[in-house]
Structure 1
Amino acid sequence: MRVAVLGASRNTGRSFVEQAIASETDFDVTILARNPDSLNFTPAEMERITVVKGDALNKEDVAHTIEGSDIVLCSLGAKINGLSKPQDMGIEETGTTHVLDIIKETRADNPPRVIMVSSTGVGETNGNYDVPYVLRPLYSLFLKTPHKHKTVVEAAIKESGLPYTIVRPAILTSGELTKKYRADIGVCGYTVSRNDVAHFILEQCVVKNNFPNASPSIAY
């Protein structure tokens, strides 16, 4: 199975790549990286990964990365400096738009599945039914801008007519892989580790092909 990953250099995307190449499934993994020399994968892991040097803001680079893929994982997002200075915020919308446009232009008859890492409290969950009551002020205050961009991306994916899964994690942590989490439509919770989100995407969404054209939430 050929899997392309945008946003593989850190966080959930990176964990997904590590788990994919360590799994029993034979994955052909291609990632897009601005600076391949800065990737911290082990030499053994790098032997299992195809790295495309480029930027998700560049459509040609994205096209090269996702060519021939069965799955395209979009794990793009802003780097946050402090609480109010998001950097690279446009990369999430632009990179995913490139993915959708390229697929419709070149593979409309046999499109790959697009999987996006979003967040609880986004999209139809804007009513906060998957966000604990005590966290709702925090979401409204500190996550308003990132969620605005994720809302745009979610809508574009759903309106594209392409096969998709939108994964909505609770507040992300750097915790260990536990494989003990709850994931379904509308699951409400406080936190979940990036490693467990990556595990859910790999095992449930990719290997088992669960949650087609759906938006499951995941939390402990």
Structure 2
Amino acid sequence: MKIAVFGATGRTGSGIIKELTARGYNVQALVRPRPEMPDMPENVQIIQGDAKNKADIAQALEGADAVISALSTDKSDTLTTAVPLIIEAMQEKGIQKILTIGTAGILNARTEPDLYRFQSSESRRSTTRAAEEHARAYEALAASSLRWTVLCPTYLPDGEAHGNYRLEENVLPENGSSITTADTAKAAVEVFEKAPAFESMRVGLAY
């Protein structure tokens, strides 16, 4: 299987690349042009381009069977621009399966289930801009005909994979306070492989 990966050079995305290649997947990674390109495993094809450009997205999707996106808000409109373009390009190419990395802020609040966590008293965020971007990206996926999953980790420190993470549909696992980037990458690939069990839902992730 060939997977197109967006956000491949970020903290979580680079871990996802390692997990995928260790499991024998072929990977096409869309990477912004830069003077020195990042080192990638041998079975990763680097495609230089911009995730906010549909032609570059289409090139990254060429021959792919599925998509994993670890794109972040990048303190800009990257996420809300890129995700609708990825959806359009996937639909045009007949690719159905996508997993994206979101944020725990767009899970349902346990105390106020009609609200996202970032809108509720459960949130400790000083600003909601990034969560709002993630919410719009999730809503675009939810409105599409794709087989989508949004994995929503809580606080993401760097660290090794321990494997004792918890998953819960549409809410954050109770008392979950952190999850390392390495375990987030591991969980992303494991959730991706267990579809359709996790399709058409947000999945809360924490220790």
TM-score (norm 2): 0.87
CA contact (8 A) 2:107 2:152 kept: no
CA contact (8 A) 1:118 1:166 kept: yes
- Gap runs ≥5 in structure 1: 80-85
CA contact (8 A) 2:80 2:136 kept: yes
Aligned to 2:180: 193
Q: Quick one: distance in 2 between partners of 1:37 and 1:13? A: 20
> CA RMSD of the aligned region, Å?
2.3
1:101 equivalenced with 2:88 (yes/no): yes
Paired AA for residue 200 in structure 1: A
Alignment of 1:116-131 (within 5 A): 116-122=100-106, 124-125=108-109, 127=112
Instruction: Give 1:48 shift.
Output: 1.3
1:60-85 Cα distance to aligned partner (Å, 9 max, x none): 00011012322211111134xxxxxx
Change (3 A) 1:179 1:37: farther
CA contact (8 A) 2:107 2:202 kept: no
Instruction: Give 1:166 shift.
Output: 0.7
Q: Quick one: distance in 2 between partners of 1:114 and 1:2? A: 12
Aligned to 1:11: 11
Q: Quick one: distance in 2 between partners of 1:125 and 1:105? A: 35
1:157 equivalenced with 2:141 (yes/no): yes
Instruction: Give 1:147 shift.
Output: 0.4
Instruction: Give 1:56 shift.
Output: 0.3
Partner residue of 2:71 out of 63, 70, 76: 76
1:207 equivalenced with 2:193 (yes/no): yes
Structure number having the greater helix percentage: 1
Aligned to 2:99: 115
Match of 1:201, SS? helix
Q: Quick one: distance in 2 between partners of 1:202 and 1:196? A: 10
Change (3 A) 1:216 1:37: same
Match of 1:116, SS? strand
Structure 1 segments of 4 or more deviating over 3 A? 36-40, 123-131
Instruction: Give 1:11 shift.
Output: 1.1
Aligned to 1:32: 30
Instruction: Give 1:14 shift.
Output: 0.8
Partner residue of 1:168 out of 146, 152, 165: 152
Q: Quick one: distance in 2 between partners of 1:217 and 1:63? A: 30
Percent identity between matched residues is 23
Partner residue of 1:138 out of 100, 124, 131: 124
Match of 1:72, SS? strand
CA contact (8 A) 1:120 1:169 kept: yes
Paired AA for residue 137 in structure 2: V
Total equivalences in the alignment = 199
Match of 1:171, SS? coil
1:217 equivalenced with 2:165 (yes/no): no
Instruction: Give 1:112 shift.
Output: 2.7
Match of 2:198, SS? coil
TM-score (norm 1): 0.82
Q: Quick one: distance in 1 between partners of 2:63 and 2:96? A: 8
Match of 1:69, SS? coil
